[in-house]
Structure formats: structure tokens, C-alpha cells
Structure 1
Amino acid sequence: MLGSARVRLNRWQQVAVAVGSAAGALLDPSRADLIAALGETTGMPAFERVLKRMKRSPEGRAILLEQPRVISVNVGYAWDLPENTFGAAYAKFMGSRNFSPDDRPPVRFMETDELPYVAMRAREVHDFWHTLFGLPTNLMGESALKVIEFEQMYLPMCLMSVIGGSARFNGKQRKLFFQHYLPWAVRAGMQCTDLMCVYYEQHFHEDLDYVRRKCEKCNR
């Protein structure tokens, strides 16, 4: 169960939150709470499609049934796994950046029983995807990952993040992104397995390259 209180919004309030969040996130892309609010208020149809796909997948159904949370108490053992494993690679990614899995903002603007968990799961597996694709957390890497997330989930927030992020590139970065990162990210997002239907925690002990091969062409 998700422990945070959720806020009931009418249609106009959803529009107001979405517009305000979008404006704030463009001014300060580090505001994870604003990006989260934008995703929730604009992403209902996308999350509904993801939910349907998860219900058709054996691993997806297991995730929905057990509702695992990517929080320190559940994934802390990854720091003790062998170096070649997916779990160890995730732990190294998080530790090298001083990230905590507990830092994700809660879901606030979804009222149904299942969609808040799907939205939270999408938020919490973001760092798993960084690990799988070997993408850095700079503006270029985050923008490329948002392209993959859009291809996987069709969340409007992802597309808006790419537009906002690319507007901040200098000339050299913009050329590199549109000539290399963007085409690669589009292909990767289309060719990979349904990444929301992967029970990542059950693959922590597996070899990183093996997990990448199972997810299909997750290497750059």
C-alpha cells in the first residue's frame, strides 16, 4: 500500500496543477515534486495503458499483486551482491551519486486503487533504467532516458521534459543529442521489452549483461 494521502482534484484543478507544475519544472528541472505532479495530472491515460499491459504479463501481474517498493529497506542488500550483478551495478550507480531510493516523491493526484501504484512504480524504476542503459544523470543522459520512457509509456510529461531539456543544451550538446542520443533512444525504447513488466528486484542477483540481453538491446 502507498502510505501518502492523495488529493482529489476536479478537471480545472488538474489543469491548474499541470500548468503550474510545467512552468515550475521548466524554470527549475531539479524540482522532482513538480515533475511528479505534472506526470500525474497529465498521464492518466498513459498509466491506464501501462496497467493493462502489466495485467497481461506474468511478471507484470506479480508486480501488481505484490506491489514491491524500491526503498532502502527492500533493496539495500544490492550493495552486498557480487560486482558483476545487476543489483551491484544499481548500487554502484546510486552510491556514486549519493542517491537514496527513498527520495522519490509520493503520488498525490491519483484516486483509483491501482493507478497510484503504477505511477509510483514508474517513478521508482527510473534508476533501474539508468543502470540498464548505462546513461548518466546529466542533462543529456536524463533527456535520452525521457525519450525511452516516452516510447515505453507515452507519458506527456516525458515529451515535455525532453523539449525543456534540449532547450538548455549548448550548440555542441544539441548537435550530439539530435544526431546520436535521440535516434538511439527512440530505437532503444521501441526495441526493448516492456520495461514496466520487468520485476527488477528478482533479477538483482543475475549478471548485468544477461539482464540487458533479456531486456533486448539495452546497451548503447
Structure 2
Amino acid sequence: MWNPVAYAQAAWRLTRAIRDPEKLQDVLGLAPVIAPPMAMRRLVERLTQHASAARAFVERPRLGLRSLPALRALPPDTLGRAFADHLEANRLDLDALPSLEARTDEEYVRAHLLESHDVWHVLTGFSTDVAGELGLQAFSLAQVGSPFALGVLAGGLTNTLLYAFSQREARMRAIVRGWLLGQRAQLLFGAPWCQMWDVPLAEVRRRYGLELAAVEAVLDDAMRPATEARHPGGASPPQSC
């Protein structure tokens, strides 16, 4: 049912988020509008076509965080230690990380994607600046087809046009990188992260086909000037007659 107050609030949040995409609460507050119940039901239907996601809807794995000291005590190369380093580097409070109820499949999608957000940052290597967040949303769009991710990308590109045009190259590279990573990787949705804190980060990436170096190589090659690509070493192209 159309609610003018709700849409007015959404428009206000959207305006604030476009001006300052680092305002997390404004971005999260747009979720019910960008991804309404019907869109979430369709998303669930698409996800259940994947065997691993269908299993996740039955088992409903959650993040299952240990305490920060326990994560810090893990070996340096593990997923859990890398996650702890990520939290500390970005001044994120472990106890303040969002956790939603998951009584329905639609609620589980929101809850799992939200609480896995920073794990995905660690796995994909995206920073938490605007470019990194847009890259991670492109990854999410490629992985699960989230309308929320597409909405955030649209807002981020609008912000780039209006307020941060000088950052267009870094942001577009991050978006393309995220899309390629998401397309090439195995589905991360529904992964039981709580069982993998002590697994080496490199092994988790291999397990899910996160080919970071390969994607970087593709991007570097694609962004090389055409004359350089055709004539390595800076040699001049042959002159026409």
C-alpha cells in the first residue's frame, strides 16, 4: 500500500545518502523502499535455484562471532584474524555490528547479507571508502542480484556525478572489479562463516573461487592504452603510406 509519509522519508534519506554516501544509517534506511517485500520474494526464488543457497534457507547459518580477543588470538593468515584486523583498522565495534531477526526467508536474506558485509570486505579486498563500498555492492549484485545493491550503486554514481567527479576512475574501476569478482566466484550467500574463522584466508578465497589477482590482471590489461597494448615497450606504431 502506498504510504506518502514513508516515501517522503525515503526521499529525504536518499537525498542525504547521495550527498554523503558514508552516512550508513541513511543508506540502510532505504532498504525497505529499494528492496520491498515483492522484490525480496523474487530474490529468494532466484537464490533457491542454487543448491548451497537452498541448503542455507534450511540450516540458516549465522555469523556466529567470537569475541574480538578470540579472533585476535588466531594465526595471522586466518579468516578470523583478518576479520579482526579489518574491524580494528576501520574502528568498528564488534558488539555494534548489525544483527537482524530471521523468521522468514526474506528476513534471513537481509540478516545474512547485512551481517556478512564486513566478511565480504575481507574476502574481496575492498576497502571501506566510497569506491570500496561501491565495488562490494557490484560484487553483491553479480552474486545475488540484490535490488538494494543496484540502488546503492545508482546513488553512488549520482554522488560521483554531482559531488565527486574527480573520483570517477577509482570508483568505476572498483565497480567493474566487484562485478567481475562476483561473476567468477562461487556463491557466497549462506556460507557458514562461523565454521571458517580458523581457516586460512587464502584457502577460503580458493574455496569460493575469489581470483583477486586474476581479476586485477584483467583490469590492468583492459585499462592499458591501446597503443601501448599493441606496441609493447613504447615502440611507435608503423607509419601509414
What TM-score range do you get, normalising by the shorter chain? 0.7 to 0.9
**Aligned Cα RMSD in Å?**
3.0
Relative to structure 1, the CA distance from residue 193 to residue 46 in structure 2 (aligned partners, 3 Å threshold; closer, same or farther) is farther
Letter in 2 for 1:24: R
| 1:72–1:102 contact (8 Å) kept in structure 2 | no
Aligned letter for 1:40?
P
Tell me which of the two structures has the higher relative contact order, counting C-alpha pairs closer than 8 angstroms and 6 or more residues apart. Answer: 1
Shift of 1:170: 4.1
Q: In structure 1, the residue corresponding to 2:126 is in which secondary structure?
A: coil
2:30 paired residue among 27, 30, 38: 38
- Aligned position for 1:187: 180
Looking at structure 2, the residues matched to 65 and 100 of structure 1 have their Cα atoms a distance apart, in angstroms, of: 30
Tell me which residue corresponds to 2:141: 150
Q: Is the 8 A contact 2:62 2:194 kept in 1?
A: no
Question: What one-letter code is carried by the residue in structure 2 that aligns with 1:29?
Answer: P
* Partner residue of 1:122 out of 113, 116, 119: 113
* Alignment deviations for residues 154-178 of structure 1 (CA, whole Å, 9 cap, x no partner): 333323322333414342x212333
* 1:109-157, Cα deviation, whole Å (9 max, x unpaired): x9x7331222011111110110001111111111111111122233333
> Any conservation in 1 of the 2:126–2:132 contact (CA below 8 Å)?
yes
Q: Larger Rg: 1 or 2?
A: 2
Pairing 1:169–2:164 present? yes
Q: Corresponding residue for 2:82?
A: 89
Stretches of structure 1 that go unaligned for 5 or more consecutive residues are 1-9
- The answer on whether the counterparts of 2:80 and 2:198 sit within 8 Å (CA) in structure 1 is yes
Contact persistence 2:72–2:84 (CA under 8 A): yes
Deviates more, 1:84-93 or 1:157-166: 157-166
Higher deviation after alignment, 149-158 or 120-129: 149-158
Percent identity over the alignment is: 23
The answer (yes or no) to whether the contact 1:60–1:196 under 8 Å persists in 2 is yes
How many matched pairs?
207
Structure 2 CA distance for aligned equivalents of residues 100 and 213 of structure 1: 29
| TM-score when normalising by structure 1 | 0.77
